[in-house]
Amino acid sequence: MQLTKSRDHHVARLNRLIQVALLSGLVLSMALMLIGSLLYFLGNQGAPAIAFGTLFADLAAGNPLAFMVSGIVVLMITPALRVLVAALGYLLEGDWRYALVSLGVVVVLAVSVLIGAV
Amino acid sequence: MYLSILLVGLFSGLFGAMIGSGGGVFLIPLLTLLLGVPITEAIGASIIAVIATSTASAIAYVGDELTNIRLGMTLELSTTIGAVLGGVTAAFLSKNVLAGLFAAAMVPTILSLWRKKEEDPNAVVAGADAPKGPLDATFYDPKLGREVSYRVKRLPLGLCVSFIAGNISGLLGIGGGAIKVPAMTLGMGVPMKAAAATSNFMIGVTAVASAYIYYSRGDVHPMIAVPTAIGVTLGALAGSRIGPRLRTRSLTRLFAGIMAVMALQMGLSAFGITLR
C-alpha cells in the first residue's frame, strides 16, 4: 500500500510538470505565430525567406516569417519535450524500464531530425 | 491566401472536433481541392496542425490522469519508427499516388462515421481487473462515479497496429487515432476514455517524428502551416465545446457524405481528372 501511494504521488507530480511544459510550449508557439501573422498584415509582406543561422537577427528585425518559423519550431519541440520530461521523471523514480523506453522514443525523434538534416 | 487557409483550418478543426476525429481528414482535401495547395505542403501543414490540437487537448487530459503514459510511451516506440519511415517514403511517391492513398485512407473513416451509433456512456463495460503490471492503470470516471481499473492485454498486437498507424500518419499527415483507439479498446482491453486520451498523447509525438522530415524537406511552408495551425486549433477548441450537443446521427451522416465527395475527388485527381 505504501508503495502504490508513493508511486501515485510521483505520477501526479510528473503529470503536473508535463502539463506546465505542454501549456507553455503551446502558448509560446501560438503567440509567435500570431505576432508573425500580425506583422505580415501590418505591411511587412515582402520579407525575404529566412535561414536558421540568422533567425535571431530576423526576429529582431521584425521579419514576419521569422516569427512564424519560430512558432512552428517551438510547436515541434513541445511534444518532444514532453517525452524528455517523462524520461527524466522515470529516471528520478528509479523506474529504469520506462526511462529506457522514453529514451528510446527520444532516440527515434533524434534520428528523424538527423534524417531531415541529411 | 492566408485568410482563406485560416478559414479552411477553422472549419476543419470545428468539423473534426464535432465528429470526434482529427481535422486532417477535412483539412488536406480542402487545401488541395479548394485552394490548390500542393498535397505535400498540405500534408506538412496538417502535421503541424495535428501537433497543435493534440497538445491543446493533451493539456486537459493530463489533468484527468486518463492518459496512460507508460502504455503510450511503449507503443510510441513502434509508432515513431513507422512515422519516420512514412515521412521518408512520401518523398519517393508522386503527388498523384499520395492523393490516391489519401482517398483510400478516408474510406474507413467515412464508413465508421456513417455507421456511428448515438453515443452511449455505458456502452463500454469497464474492466474490473485490479492493476497488476506496470502498464495497468486506474482512473476515476465521473460519469460512472467510481474508479475504473484495467489490465493491458496483447501488447505485441498493439505495437504492430501502432507501427501501421504511425506509418500512415507520416505518409499522409493525419493523426491515425481512428486506427489506434479501436486497437486499444477492442484488442488490448483499454477502456474507451483512457484509449482516446492515450492515443491523443501518442498522436502529438508521432506527428513530431515526421514533422522534422517534412520541415527539412521544405514542405512546412510558414504561410500555409501557420494559418492552418491557428485556424485548426481555434476551430477544434470551439468544436469540442459545441460538438457533443450537436453530434446527431444526421450531422455525422452529412459529414460522411461531404467526405465521400472529397474522397472521390481526391481519388479522381490521382488519375489527373479534376471536377470543379
- The 10s digit of each residue's pLDDT in A22-67 is 899 999 999 999 999 999 888 766 656 666 667 777 787 778 888 9
Task: Look at A33 and B226 and tell me if their CB atoms are within 8 Å.
Answer: yes
State chain B's mean pLDDT as an integer: 85
What DSSP element (H or E) covers B149?
A: strand B146-150
Q: Please name the member of B54, B70, B88 whose beta carbon is closest to the beta carbon of A115.
A: B88
Task: Look at B55 and A37 and tell me if their CB atoms are within 8 Å.
Answer: no
Please give the Cα distance from A101 to B79 (Å, whole number). Answer: 13
Closest approach of chain A CAs to the CA of B213, in angstroms? 5
A2 pLDDT higher than 50: no
Please give the Cα distance from B17 to B109 (Å, whole number). Answer: 14
User: What one-letter code names the amino acid at B62?
Assistant: V
- In contact, B147 and B141? CB cutoff 8 Å: yes
What ipTM was assigned to the predicted interfaces of this complex? 0.86
Task: Look at A108 and B209 and tell me if their CB atoms are within 8 Å.
Answer: yes
Please give the Cα distance from B275 to B33 (Å, whole number). Answer: 9
Position with higher pLDDT, B120 vs B137? B137
What sign does the CA torsion over B109, B113, B116, B122 have? positive
For chain B, say whether A85 makes contact (Cβ under 8 Å). no
And the C-alpha cell for A76? 515541434
Q: How many CB atoms lie within 10 A of CB B29?
A: 26
- In contact, B43 and B69? CB cutoff 8 Å: no
Longest dimension (CA), chain A: 65
Please give the Cα distance from A83 to A5 (Å, whole number). Answer: 24
A10 pLDDT higher than 70: no
Task: Look at A82 and B205 and tell me if their CB atoms are within 8 Å.
Answer: yes
What DSSP element (H or E) covers B97?
A: helix B95-115
At B150 the three-state DSSP class reads strand
Q: Please name the member of A22, A30, A102 whose beta carbon is closest to the beta carbon of B58.
A: A22
pLDDT at A94: 85
Range with the poorest average pLDDT among A36-45, B41-50, B186-195: A36-45
The per-residue pLDDT for range A81-98, each reduced to its tens digit, is: 889 988 888 888 888 999
The per-residue pLDDT for range B223-248, each reduced to its tens digit, is: 999 999 999 999 988 887 776 666 67
